[in-house]
């Protein structure tokens, strides 16, 4: 009966999502940056004006569902295409479920969501050193955007910029 199910996350999934975020941060060697607050995450994912959405991958077997992974995404906008897009912030498949099509299924669902919502693209970033992920995305037909560098303001730099007027 082993079967994969992809479903929208609900508020009762919050602790599971936070646990997988910590697992992902550890895998990406970024545990020190995983400081998400439970109440803030509840508000931003399940509050009156959600800022992001989450898909949960569950592996169904005789004992019931096992959480296999998650995908957290939100909408952005392309002025060049003139349409919204879907930005995949995190895609994580727990080690025990890798190689079973979970990542592909979540990306397929995200692609379908993007098309259903009239989006022009589905985008994400991947760490340069993560060769397994990069190879996986390439096999799916994703194109790495050479010539683009991600920039970020956060913490003190974000505050300083906001008050620089």
pLDDT digits (tens, 9 = 90+) for 64-103: 899 999 999 999 999 999 999 999 999 999 999 999 999 9
How large is the greatest C-alpha to C-alpha distance in the chain, in angstroms? 60
Number of domains comprising the chain: 1
Domain of residue 69, CATH code: 3.40.630.30
The answer to whether 84 and 76 are in contact (CB under 8 A) is yes
pTM above 0.85, yes or no: yes
pLDDT category of residue 1 using cuts at 50, 70 and 90: low
In this model, does residue 56 exceed pLDDT 80? yes
Domain hosting residue 106, numbered range = 3-162
Give CA 119 to chain center in angstroms.
17
Residue 163: φ, ψ to 5°: -100, 5
pLDDT tens-place string over residues 4-32: 999 999 999 999 999 999 999 999 999 99
CA 96 – CA 103 distance, rounded (Å): 13
* Residue 155, Ramachandran bin (φ over 0: left; ψ between -120 and 50: alpha; else beta): left
- Mean per-residue pLDDT, 115-130: 95
Cα atoms in the Cβ-side hemisphere of radius 13 Å centred on 32: 1
Note the pLDDT of residue 150: 87
Choice among 27, 87, 92, 137 that is catalytic: 137
Question: Using 50, 70 and 90 to split pLDDT, how confident is the model at 109?
Answer: very high
Is 137 a catalytic site residue? yes
């Amino acid at each position: 009966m082993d079967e994969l199910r992809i479903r929208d996350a609900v508020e009762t999934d919050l602790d599971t999502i936070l646990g997988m975020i910590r697992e992902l941060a550890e895998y990406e060697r970024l545990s020190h940056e995983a400081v998400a607050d439970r109440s803030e995450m509840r508000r931003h994912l399940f509050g009156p004006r959600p800022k992001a959405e989450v898909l949960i991958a569950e592996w169904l077997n005789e004992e019931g569902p096992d959480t296999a992974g998650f995908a957290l995404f939100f909408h952005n906008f392309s002025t060049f295409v003139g349409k919204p897009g879907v930005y995949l912030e995190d895609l994580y498949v727990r080690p025990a479920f890798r190689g079973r099509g979970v990542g592909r299924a979540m990306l397929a669902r995200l692609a379908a969501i993007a098309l259903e919502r009239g989006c022009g693209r589905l985008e994400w970033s991947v760490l340069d050193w993560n060769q397994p992920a990069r190879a996986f995305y390439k096999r799916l037909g994703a194109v790495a955007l050479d010539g683009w560098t991600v920039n970020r303001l956060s913490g003190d730099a974000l505050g300083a910029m906001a008050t620089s007027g």
